[in-house]
Chain A
């Protein structure tokens, strides 16, 4: 398929009604080509997370269209959105979002379980991804036994497990120290290239911006040049 992997057109999203309404997104439009890494930057409250939620189908826009990998999210019901997230879109969160009682390998395998992947293929893929993020020797450790950076690596591996087309990361280095954050950013950059995935990363970090193929600035809910 040619064309943009992600197309956001004239998206509006507001919360509340009347004078107290908060306009989180106003007429946001942009496109992202496949295999690129886009840094979404803006101040706190500028609408970055709202935009990521809309892109990933976690939230629906009041108006406008979002097309991911050729799928218009507006036409999908809840099950369709779930399928989208299971097969085409993955998330990486600031707080990692790992299941504490599962090992690193088991956490990475969660999307594959949801996709009902064959156990053998799952184990193979998990091992491959843990190797990719540099955690070969930590497969059986639980999140509590890993450092913050290692946990985020596990989260990245998990996000890649189902071979998504679009990777959405919301402040992925927000809870990490500078050095670890840098390593995670480099890893993200690497997996975008090695896995051929498209990534939209919300960040404040100038290093991340430098690593991105493109930077989209958002101010008060509007994409600014």
Chain B
């Protein structure tokens, strides 16, 4: 059988294109804009993921480094003493080489060259001055030791000329030669030839001799990062108020350090710093697998050196990052799908407009014998001619913007864009020649109406069912993988929800406009009646209302998502810090913090300052089960006042926490698994076979990362026999951070505003915020476009009606009011429905969207709906669209003669 291809009538194709150049250009514009957005978003997400990967690894610093600790081989000599090994530095280098050899290429390419360090334990400097500790450090890289210039003295050398010496185990301290940086030497007040008096925790003295003072050739050499205290004294590395100083060993003095210290006092570590610049998100995923394999294999694999102990937190850093990127990608896909849904609805409106404009021409063509396949082919050719270049332009712009373009979302969008006009046009042409006349009798007409109603209800039910399925999937499965695949349905839930709700309510519009018409009939103002009549005549068309309201609702969703994230970040920073500023004092120096809170509280700009003992590793017993949780022992009255000065949840009345109940200490509890809930009796073991009885009387505030927490009052705790040693100070007020700094107490200072800034500017968070705002802007633009298209589709009928009314005496200026009256219901519908619908969908989706991974809150952030902003923006957009459309139409009408309009209507 020979296939007959439809014949195209090229003059018709050209004629239609010329006549409808405006709408076709509009279609091309929409396609270009959406293709640009849909094509560039995935690459932008990829780039942001790469940035986030580099940022996370950079921030993780030490945690991202891969370390391998190599055990020392025995160095016992034939006489039971310890043998000096002159090639020790070479052995250490060999360890680094062997460790590097065990890295697979993926891991190796993402790591910087190794830095090998041999470090002693911290030895107490016993010169009678302030608390200072000394570490002996040997640093090596594949190219040797970091370069230094000896500004005084000389490099450390061997302590003996007898290279292969065996010393007795219980002999006198073995001398070790070291070099000091200028800063460290100045801090110690020593120079070449001096000894540094040190001893270990057993008070065993060591003989450390300074041979020279050096200046680093390059202080930024990565080798120094393994032991920065070799260059500069470092505070608080060995406990509160202590200063760590590093003494540099040379390859020649390293064997002596080995002899001088016990085996367990000297460790050799090869450290591979992660190289953020070499990482992408894709390579990081492979890296995570490699790291997991390395860590797993280090314990069991016989192929690896059993003396190596690999350690790194890079895998958990990447796992956290993976969760964040998956969440952000999924959130982006939700916004993108909402945007695509709105764009598709606007394209449908464009197709509808084109088809209405062409209805007469298509009908004539059909009457003159044009086949439906032929018409469909002609319209398809036109669609390809319009959407094809527009798509290419959009992709080219996406490539120019991001370096690449993704077709994942572009392809389905373009397919629909290509099919919409031919489908609408062909259906219109088919209807023109379909021999289906209106039945003569009423029952047949009723049956016909019922059939139409059933079809419509079936369509609506299908849309609602898909939307419901998407929402259920979103709640049950979350967003899953994000873009594409299984994640597409839940990711489309907000958009589908908006479409379904709008569709259902838009079906009610004719009822509403009918009611308004009834009231208008009683009005003495004819313009009200005419506007209501036009509105009632056009309200059965749901597409304009659905397109407009969906675009605005998804826009409101985006704005709500943005506001929720921003507020969540603020709340998260409060949760993390617990106040405006927090000082974490090392637990190595108990008692030193006494009075710190009082000094901080007395500083200007500080409203509250509270000290507490925070034990992150406390264990409780509840129902014979061990429950790990953070224990906070604090003056609950003062803490309550401090919390009341923050947006964090407060504490119950202090009386509830300060009065023991049946001998049990009242406590506030918070556990993720519910193992400790208000009313539960539990115990805190303090020493073997002893414990303090506790009773949970309320919920503890979520602080930190939302860990399980138990809060008890310090006075009650003291009365129950606990020794309270404050190690944390929270302070509120604009001068809190400055006051903590000025208090002169060493410790880790966390400032809420810095935490917030850091999180806000993190690549993923800032990218999501930008996407929310861009999506909202584009959606607002689409809603204006949808409004104008919907108005344009009805314009001929509206103009004809207005012209008829003009023949009855309606004044020209009143036509604008009637036209506005026709457009008001859709405007009101969108204004009333879109903001709450967007906010509702954001509320439903906020939890499953996993925003808390970005806001770092213990629980999903509370949905924040900026009602005023959304309402104001929505109303502004609608009013501008309404006034603009009516004014533009009025200007166009003025250019046409009234008689001309009536003649068109008569055709």
Contacts and interface: CB of A to CB of B under 8 A. Distances in A.
B529 interface: yes
B517 interface: yes
B11 interface: no
Contacts, number: 81
Interface string A69-104: 000000000110011011100110111010111100
B804 A93 contact: yes
A79 B898 CA distance: 14
A186 interface: no
B804 A97 contact: yes
Interface string B868-907: 0000000000000000000000000000011100110110
A203 interface: no
Contacts of A82: 806, 809-812
A52 to B, nearest CB: 8
B13 interface: no
Given A49-B903, A99-B533, A101-B533, A114 B810 contact: yes
Given A59-B899, A100-B537, A93 B809 contact: no
A58 B906 CA distance: 15
A101 B810 contact: no
A100 B536 CA distance: 9
Contacts of B437: none
A205 B811 CA distance: 34
Contact of A56 (B521, B807, B810, B811): B807
Nearest to A170: B906
Nearest to A84: B809
B801 A53 contact: no
Q: Which of A91, A94, A114 has the most CB of B within 10 A?
A: A114
Interface stretch (A32-40, A105-113, A125-133, A177-185): A105-113
Contact of A79 (B524, B811, B897, B902): B811
Q: Which of A79, A82, A85, A115 has the most CB of B within 10 A?
A: A82
Contacts of A95: 905-906
A119 interface: yes
Interface residues of A, number: 35
Contacts of A59: 897-899
A91 to B, nearest CB: 4
Interface in B277-310: none
B526 interface: yes
A85 B524 contact: no
Q: Which of B530, B809, B906 has the most CB of A within 10 A?
A: B809
Interface string B360-383: 000000000000000000000000
A68 B170 CA distance: 134
B521 A58 contact: no
Given A93-B902, A170-B906, A162 B809 contact: yes
Given A50-B899, A93-B902, A101 B536 contact: yes
A101 B899 contact: no
Interface in B448-493: none
Contacts of A170: 906
B442 to A, nearest CB: 10
Contacts of B804: 93, 97
B905 A97 contact: yes
Interface string B527-554: 0011001001100000000000000000
B328 to A, nearest CB: 50
A121 interface: no
Contacts of B906: 93-95, 170-171
B808 interface: yes
A116 B524 CA distance: 7
Contacts of B806: 58, 82, 85
Contact of A86 (B524, B809, B905): B809
A86 to B, nearest CB: 3
Given A59-B898, A113-B526, A99 B809 contact: no
Contact of B808 (A101, A102, A114): A114
B812 A115 contact: no
Contacts of B808: 85-86, 90-91, 110-111, 114, 158, 162
B811 A58 contact: no
B902 A111 contact: no
Q: Which of A78, A113, A158, A162 has the most CB of B within 10 A?
A: A113
A62 to B, nearest CB: 13
A78 B903 contact: no
Nearest to A102: B533
A102 B903 CA distance: 23
A77 to B, nearest CB: 10
A103 B457 CA distance: 28
A102 B492 CA distance: 42
Contacts of A50: 899
Interface string A206-219: 00000000000000
Contacts of A91: 807-808
A57 to B, nearest CB: 9
Given A50-B899, A58-B897, A93-B906, A101 B809 contact: no
A203 B898 CA distance: 21
A103 B418 CA distance: 42
Contacts of A101: 517, 533, 536-537
A188 B781 CA distance: 53
A106 B521 contact: yes
A83 B800 CA distance: 19
A116 B805 CA distance: 14
A113 B809 contact: no
B821 to A, nearest CB: 13
A161 to B, nearest CB: 9
Interface in B734-791: none
Nearest to A88: B809
A50 B897 CA distance: 11
Interface in B304-340: none
B421 to A, nearest CB: 28
Interface string B181-202: 0000000000000000000000
B897 A78 contact: no
Given A99-B530, A100-B537, A113-B526, 17 more contacts: A53-B897, A59-B899, A79-B812, A82-B812, A85-B806, A85-B807, A85-B808, A90-B807, A90-B808, A91-B807, A93-B804, A93-B902, A97-B800, A97-B807, A97-B905, A99-B533, A162-B808
Interface of B: 517, 521, 524, 526, 529-530, 533, 536-537, 800-801, 804-812, 897-899, 902-903, 905-906
Can you list the 7 inter-chain pairs with the closest CB atoms, starting with the nearest? Answer: A86-B809, A53-B899, A113-B526, A97-B804, A91-B807, A101-B536, A58-B898
12 contacts: A53-B897, A56-B807, A58-B897, A82-B811, A82-B812, A94-B906, A95-B906, A99-B537, A111-B809, A114-B805, A114-B808, A162-B808
Interface of A: 49-50, 53, 56, 58-59, 78-79, 82-83, 85-87, 90-91, 93-95, 97, 99-102, 106, 110-111, 113-116, 119, 158, 162, 170-171
